[in-house]
Amino acid sequence: MQAILLAGGLGTRLRSVVSDRPKPMALIEGRPFMEYVTRELVRSGMTDIIFAVGYKGTMVEEYFGDGERFGFHASYAYEETLLGTAGAIKNAGRFVTEERFFVLNADTFYQIDYTRLKRLQDSLDLDMALVLREVPDVSRYGQAILDEKGFLTAFNEKTEETRMGTINGGIYLMRRSLMDTIPEGKVSLENDMIPKWLREGKGLGGFVNDGYFIDIGIPEAYRQFQEDVRNQVVV
């Protein structure tokens, strides 16, 4: 299986503690955060990882090289300008050779059963399967809603009500035909394409995962992941 790792962001919120490298390359116990992400992917059967890189992207390629010593084949899709999440997927599409592929953010670590996404996509005949996660206060985010069968019915919906709910977890299993509908240029997957695909009646669905999750976009979370690695919560 192939996976696109979105690693092109500037990581401005983490600059106060990580200023010399892309956010996914922030060091955790002497290893870049993204190595923990790729290690989890390899454990899940990924053999081909496409790094969608921008800011200081050469640092990613210098570290991972062809990927052989990490157990996968590596490719690199460079962005000349910021393309957004969907634009980055489109730009990396030239390296996609399979009919479906995973997409995930390189600055988040999520322990999930990736085969569950494949089973769900097959059973519901989805164009894209995605992972949701539950949060105690959905008003801080745009909520994502599934029906009883697992089809996505709402995405990035704003609410002022403080309550528990489900939001986008940032892991996707996409069909190549869906990627082909993304226009060239700067495009957001979350704000532009997924809402558009929902309106068009594309098959979008998912499940809620309760496994370990962390986004190292802020200093507090970065320090938390360091502690979790030291305590072998993450290995």
- Give the C-alpha separation, 22 to 19, whole Å: 8
- Kindly report, residue by residue over 138-155, the tens digit of the pLDDT: 887 889 999 999 999 999
In the DSSP assignment, the letter for residue 24 is G
Q: Where are the domains of the chain?
A: 2-230
- Give the C-alpha separation, 144 to 204, whole Å: 11
**pLDDT value of position 197:** 97
pTM: 0.92
Ranges of the chain whose pLDDT falls below 70: 9-20
CATH number of 2-230: 3.90.550.10
**pLDDT value of position 9:** 64
**pLDDT value of position 235:** 74
State residue 149 phi and psi, 5-degree precision.
-85, -20
Q: Between 57-64 and 33-43, two packed helices, what is the crossing angle to 10 degrees?
A: 50
Token code pair at residue 64: 């991972």
Q: Any residues with CB less than 8 A from the CB of 121 and at least 6 apart, and which? A: 100, 128, 129, 173, 175, 205
